[in-house]
Structure 1
Amino acid sequence: MKLRKVTAASATAFVLALTATACGGGGSDSGSGGDKITIGIKFDQPGLGLKTPDGSYTGFDVDVAKYVAKELGYDEADIEWRETPSADRENALERGDVDFIAATYSITDERKEKVDFAGPYLLAHQDLLVRADENVTKGEDLNGKKLCSVAGSTSAQNVKDDFAPKANLQETGTYSECLDGLASGAVDALTTDDSILAGYAAQEQYKGKFKLAGLELSNENYGIGVKKGETELLDDINAALEKMVSEKAWDKAVEDNFGPANYENEPAPKIGDIVQ
């Protein structure tokens, strides 16, 4: 895989080549311009991976991906963003559609059989989003309440199975529908990863209306997925993630994307430290 644009050695060689050309005349332009890197993200998750109406991309995953790409030698203009829905992430890597994926991609033993993971770069938890004036301190508080999540999600079923068997589970096509229901009072809580919930709650139209319950119902270790066997790329991404943390760029990305939701994030995880 050709994931390199400018290293110290290649930059020196390029300067020498330019000098030789200037002195001797002739020669072709062999610069590295034009190289691209394709990164898989979500397009529909505010605060994490969102394609905006003007065609730009925002979110924590996007900021992490940009930083990693920069450390790999790619400018932001060299990035080709590719939407990678959850169900297609492994296939996208196997087909070579993307070079790596940063898309709320939880590291699991089952997934590690198909892809390799750098990171983790964020420890999230399944949680509940409730109205700001609601007092929910444990999963059992949802018994008799209306709990919303997207159709096919395991999050809501986990709450119903493990914490609140008498919750009234309502499934919708999108999280936005759940948010509308939460705002109107039609539902009492929305459940998925706390990072995703924080991203939605941080949107301008929802600021101050919702809050995270802070229940930590599960551990979700977000990693960057790469094609199985891409060891060198994996090492380079891990080095980039460590640098992002040490330079405090990770903290800035958290504040920029989740700050308005008062998201009490976990500290940046250590590479390879998977919390069960």
Structure 2
Amino acid sequence: MKMENENNLYESFASILRHVEETKPLIHCITHPITMNDCANLVLAVGASPNMASHPEEAAEFVSLASVLAVNLGNIADDRMEGMQRAAARANELGIPILIDAVGVSCSTLRRRFAHDFIEAYHPAVIKGNSSEIRALCGLDSHGSGVDAGAADAVTADTFAAAAGEFGAYAAAHRAVVLASGPVDVVTDGVRACGIANGTPVLAKLTGTGCMLGVLTAVYMSAHKPWHAAVLAAAAMGIAGEQAAQEAKGMGSFHVGLFDAISNVTLADIWKEKRFLLIQ
């Protein structure tokens, strides 16, 4: 695998951010009540518009107006699963890109089976999860603890190349981009791979930061560059977390500070502060 030329990467990031600023895309997020408010506010914070409709009788109608569909398997429920399927079917008809956040698939047979079926049926452009969740989807040994990644599955600078190869094979087989979050986030489509080492352990102490990364990726996907969108989102979220942690007095101020930081992070900040790992 390879990494894209840095000049091309910078220009792609710039065009994505311009697209969001100019179009204010509507992002249809079918997610769960634990993090719904934070996800909606994050979409707003970066200049897009959220819609959170999940009822099966209206999901397809609402997604018809959207630029991207993001579905999240956290706190799963029957009606939400049906709403996801109906919305995804309509999104496929209209050519609207889809992101699936495979929350909890490393520990739940129900969610893992649903994710496999959803991916086969609706061909999401981005498949996101933490490292344990992505390993579970790939059929690899996985050590998730509830919806959290197991320490044994964490991707580091030393294991990045191996993880990119394993996740890349899955991405290529499904013609998708895989985004695996962790100490080093991995983004790969089976041809290109990037590790993003930005972030802070404090992010893992605030529920929903992984879900927020998913919807941030969906916002950037509205420019129809899913690989670049995932790399940009992982870098922006990691850098915002670092900035918030510097000023935080505790988890309450970190939560507020994270929204302040993601609202104000610029391409110049991202390009200066990025810590990318490449496969040589």
What TM-score does the superposition give when structure 2 sets the normalisation length? 0.31
Question: When you count helix as a share of all residues, which structure comes out higher?
Answer: 2
Which structure has the higher relative contact order (CA within 8 Å, separation 6+)? Answer: 1
Bigger Cα Rg: 1
